[in-house]
Amino acid sequence: MFFNPILADDIGKLLLRLMLGTVMLFHGVYKVFHPAALDWIGGMLAKMGLPMELAFAVYLGEVLGPLLVIVGMFSRIGGLLITINMVFAIVLVDRAALLQIDKFGGWQVETAALLLVCGLAVLLGGSGKFAARPD
């Protein structure tokens, strides 16, 4: 038999983890090398009455979380960190565009929403077998 549904499930989880982790890690690495980006995030937080220092939590959702997801160690925690990060990203940056369509007919916040839902999928589905520490 060529198709093993159990193996396919684990391969699907691996592909999800690798893609989500890689995309999020690019954002985090950018902020590591361009820490001034945190000033902008801190300003957005301050406008909402939150402490500017909370901006440093972006490193949890965009560096630590993706690394955990990619490696497959504490993947559910990584998925949670990414999900929380994306909720903040949507609330801070994209909330005005939640009901808007872009010039190509797509949902204005589709990328952020997709990353949020992928984080939730890892949180709920776990790492699968192809992980350093399957959960």
Asked if the model's pLDDT at residue 94 lies above 90, the reply is no
Q: Percentage of the chain surpassing pLDDT 90?
A: 90
- Supply the pTM of this predicted model: 0.93
Kindly state the average pLDDT of the residues 104-123.
Answer: 96
Q: Show the CA angle centred on residue 111, arms to residues 86 and 28, nearest 5°.
A: 50
The per-residue pLDDT for range 100-113, each reduced to its tens digit, is 999 999 999 999 99
Give the ranges where the chain is alpha helix by DSSP (H): 5-33, 37-47, 58-59, 65-71, 75-89, 110-125
Domain boundaries, the chain: 5-125
Instruction: For residues 19 and 48, give the distance between their C-alpha atoms in angstroms, rounded to a whole number.
Output: 31
- Provide the token pair at 117: 């839902």
The per-residue pLDDT for range 3-29, each reduced to its tens digit, is 788 799 999 999 999 999 999 999 999
**Residue 21: CA count within 13 A, CB half-sphere:** 25
